[in-house]
């Protein structure tokens, strides 16, 4: 397990390459709502780190310090352009005001979604108390849950979610988490043995919903699906759950998806 500290730096004053005078660059940096403590970042596949800034001309830097499996310290620093802007800035003020620091872990990120089959909670399965108790030892798994949310338009960030990515020993959180999602990761952990992976599970499910609500408008159009907006059931209106619960995750680099409709 690679545990690291991720620091995003909103620069206050920077020096551009080849310049001799500091150029003021101020802005406010913020992260998506699911960027919380103990977050799992996809270990391969060129994972993206993204967020918001009030000034697209300010370069943003990402620093990561971590220990590898042998306990050796590693440090990396990378520049990320805002809104596809390219930058040459390579010198920045130490510990600038507005830095955001998160404890993160590298692993495999899975998105679990669908309706009631996926939303069935751990405390609703057979032998629930025993299964929840036996799951506490799976410290390689982190779970994160999105709140129900519908939207008429595609949103870039989730409406609401847990305040942290939790381990299974937090029984109150595991109890309310998707059983299919968690038990799949638990099974894979057992199957892999000494080669087990770190799993980051994101649950975005809602019972009693139609697949059309989870589908993008482009997908529905390609299948010639008739428009359907239900004022008394927005959760079953075409694309409303895609817009509010899936589209916000599109910038997240993931290993795969579990979908149970």
Task: Give me the percent of the chain exceeding a pLDDT of 90.
Answer: 61
Whole-number Å distance between alpha carbons of 132 and 196: 20
**Using an 8 Å Cβ cutoff, are 5 and 101 in contact?**
yes
Identify the band that residue 49 occupies on the pLDDT scale cut at 50, 70 and 90.
Answer: confident
Same domain flag for 128 and 254: yes
What's the half-sphere exposure (Cβ side, CA atoms, 13 Å) at 95? Answer: 0
pLDDT digits (tens, 9 = 90+) for 192-215: 999 999 999 999 999 999 999 999
Same domain flag for 88 and 188: no
Same domain flag for 142 and 251: yes
| Domain termination residue (choose one: 84, 105, 126) | 105
Same domain flag for 249 and 191: yes
Same domain flag for 122 and 85: no
Same domain flag for 96 and 124: no
Domain residue limits at 228: 107-260
259 or 61, greater pLDDT: 259
Structure tokens at 89: 């800035």
Same domain flag for 126 and 247: yes
Same domain flag for 211 and 193: yes
Identify the band that residue 235 occupies on the pLDDT scale cut at 50, 70 and 90.
Answer: very high
80 or 47, greater pLDDT: 47
Total number of domains in the chain: 2
What was the pLDDT predicted at 2? 54
Whole-number Å distance between alpha carbons of 43 and 105: 9
**Using an 8 Å Cβ cutoff, are 142 and 79 in contact?**
no
What was the pLDDT predicted at 82? 35
Same domain flag for 134 and 255: yes
pLDDT digits (tens, 9 = 90+) for 129-147: 999 999 999 999 999 999 9
pTM for the full predicted model: 0.83
pLDDT digits (tens, 9 = 90+) for 245-256: 999 999 999 999
Q: Is the dihedral of CA 84, 85, 86, 92 positive or negative?
A: negative
Lowest mean pLDDT of 18-22, 148-152, 158-162, name the range.
18-22
Cβ contacts of 186-193, under 8 Å, gap ≥ 24: 186/135, 186/138, 186/141, 189/138, 189/140, 189/141
pLDDT digits (tens, 9 = 90+) for 74-131: 555 454 443 232 222 222 333 445 567 778 888 999 999 999 999 999 999 999 999 9
Same domain flag for 165 and 213: yes
Same domain flag for 181 and 151: yes
| Domain termination residue (choose one: 41, 70, 105) | 105
The whole-number average pLDDT for the span 150-164 is: 96
| Domain termination residue (choose one: 82, 105, 128) | 105
Same domain flag for 50 and 141: no
Q: What angle do CA 85, 91, 96 make, to 5 degrees?
A: 90
Q: Is the pLDDT of residue 5 over 60?
A: no
């Amino acid at each position: 397990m690679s545990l690291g500290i991720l620091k995003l730096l909103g620069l206050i004053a920077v020096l551009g390459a080849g310049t001799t005078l500091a150029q003021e660059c101020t802005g406010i940096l913020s992260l998506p709502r699911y960027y919380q403590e103990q977050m799992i970042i996809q270990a391969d596949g060129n994972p993206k780190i993204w967020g918001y800034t009030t000034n697209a001309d300010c370069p943003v830097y990402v620093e990561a310090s971590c220990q590898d499996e042998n306990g050796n310290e590693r440090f990396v620093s990378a520049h990320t352009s805002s809104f596809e802007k390219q930058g040459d800035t390579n010198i920045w003020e130490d510990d600038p005001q507005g830095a955001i620091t998160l404890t993160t872990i590298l692993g495999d990120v899975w998105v679990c979604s669908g309706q009631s089959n996926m939303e069935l909670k751990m405390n609703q399965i057979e032998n629930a108390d025993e299964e929840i108790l036996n799951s506490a030892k799976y410290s390689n798994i982190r779970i994160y849950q999105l709140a129900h949310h519908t939207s008429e338009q595609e949103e870039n960030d989730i409406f609401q979610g847990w305040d942290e990515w939790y381990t299974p020993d937090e029984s109150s959180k595991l109890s309310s988490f998707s059983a299919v999602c968690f038990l799949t990761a638990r099974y894979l952990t057992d199957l892999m043995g000494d080669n087990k992976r770190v799993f980051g599970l994101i649950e975005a499910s809602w019972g009693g919903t139609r697949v059309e609500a989870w589908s993008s408008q482009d997908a529905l159009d390609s299948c010639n699906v008739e428009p359907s907006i239900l004022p008394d059931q927005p959760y079953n209106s075409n694309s409303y759950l895609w817009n509010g619960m899936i589209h916000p995750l599109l910038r997240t680099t993931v290993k795969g998806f579990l979908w149970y409709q």
